[in-house]
Amino acid sequence: MNDFSLSSLRAAADMVHAQVPPTPQYAWPLLGQRSGCDLWVKHENHTPTGAFKARGAITYIDWLRRTHPEVKGIITATRGNHGQAQVRAATAAGIAATIVVPHGNALEKNAAMRAFGATLIEHGHDFDSAKAEAIRLSAEQGLFMVPAYHDELVRGVASYGLELFDAVPDLDTVYVPVGCGSGLCGTIAARDALGLKTKVVGVVSAHVDAAKRSFEAGRLLSSPTAYTFADGVAVCTPVQAALDYFGPRADRFVGVTDDEVAQAIRIYWQDTHNLAEGAGAVALAAALQEKDRMRGKKVAVILSGGNGDMSQMAEILRGATPQVTMDMRKAI
């Protein structure tokens, strides 16, 4: 049974802040003018790994050390941000980390994981193949397989929600990117622990909308493919445990197209001079899509990461939308 009480989340936040300082939240004037509301950006692109997942890895690795002290090494599959976070936290705790990525993964993310101390293995041409190899190596080498969703990940991630709600009272709505669900669940956990009435809205790619459809149907549904350049939300099959938690607690879901995401990236650059990765920009894209609904309200968006592929970012800033083809990506 998860413990998302306020005392538990505050304790987790203290643990996170020992390694990751609180990130800022700013109400950028140009974004406010553009959106027609009092719009705050929570800058999770300012963590030591450039994404919010740095938080959950700290609490997860602490839990792992306490509950499985025999573990000498971890392994996980990733396309980047999850892997960077786990390597950073594991290395700091004296635990070796092996990361499996598909061939063709972003070179910048691979380089960052190696720099944090990972043994990086490239296998297959999609996430599913990399995950299968990670599971195989876990059994073969006695490495602990780290999942993409876990209550201890949520406890750590909830620290950004506490920071935001403490700093910006009376928020009407918060838009949160949804991949496997730790960000959405962490934001909801922080809201509920504080006893707030803020609406929490999940945001997915309109091209990979299994989490949205699962939320609306009340049961787990899948998407056949993950054709979006916003790879951090390219999740074909939601996590049941995450759905069980956010299902009765999220207000609603919004799906945004790749064109809307690319435009949101350009807007972030123009209005704030921050470069968001695809998944990091989906929350802003959703807030702008619902501009009329949010007019005059106090709203926050989670800029969940800034680790975009350089070639894609160059294409986007030139005014284009990156195209994802069948051989580039399959289900996460």
User: Look-up: residue for tokens 């936040």?
Assistant: 13
The C-alpha atoms of residue 64 and residue 80 are separated, in whole angstroms, by 21
Q: Long-range contacts made by residues 13-16, C-beta under 8 angstroms, separation at least 24?
A: 13/158, 13/159, 13/162, 13/163, 15/58, 15/59, 15/62, 15/156, 16/55, 16/58, 16/59, 16/156, 16/159
pLDDT at 315: 97
3-state secondary structure of 105: coil
Rg of the chain taking only CA atoms, in angstroms: 18
Q: Which domains, from first to last, does the chain contain?
A: 6-51+151-317 (3.40.50.1100), 53-145 (3.40.50.1100)
Contact 302, 55 (CB under 8 A): no
Token readout for 119 is 């043994």
Q: Residue 290: how many CB atoms within 10 A of its CB?
A: 18
3-state secondary structure of 146: coil
pLDDT at 332: 41
pLDDT at 325: 63
Q: Residue 191: how many CB atoms within 10 A of its CB?
A: 22
Buried b (16+ CB within 10 A) or exposed e, 134-159: beebbeeeebbebebbbbbbbbbbbb
Backbone angles phi, psi at 197, to 5 degrees: -110, 10
Give bridge partners of residue 173 from the DSSP assignment: 199, 299
How many angstroms from the chain centroid is the CA of residue 307? 11
pLDDT at 1: 61
Q: Which amino acid is at 164?
A: L
Spell out the per-residue pLDDT of the chain, length 332, in tens.
688 999 999 999 999 999 999 999 999 999 999 999 999 999 999 999 999 999 999 999 999 999 999 999 999 998 889 999 999 999 999 999 999 998 888 888 899 999 999 999 999 887 778 889 999 999 999 999 999 899 999 999 999 999 999 999 999 999 999 999 999 999 999 999 999 999 999 999 999 999 999 999 999 999 888 889 998 898 888 999 999 999 999 999 999 999 999 999 999 999 999 999 999 999 999 999 999 999 999 999 999 999 998 999 999 999 999 998 654 444 44
3-state secondary structure of 101: strand
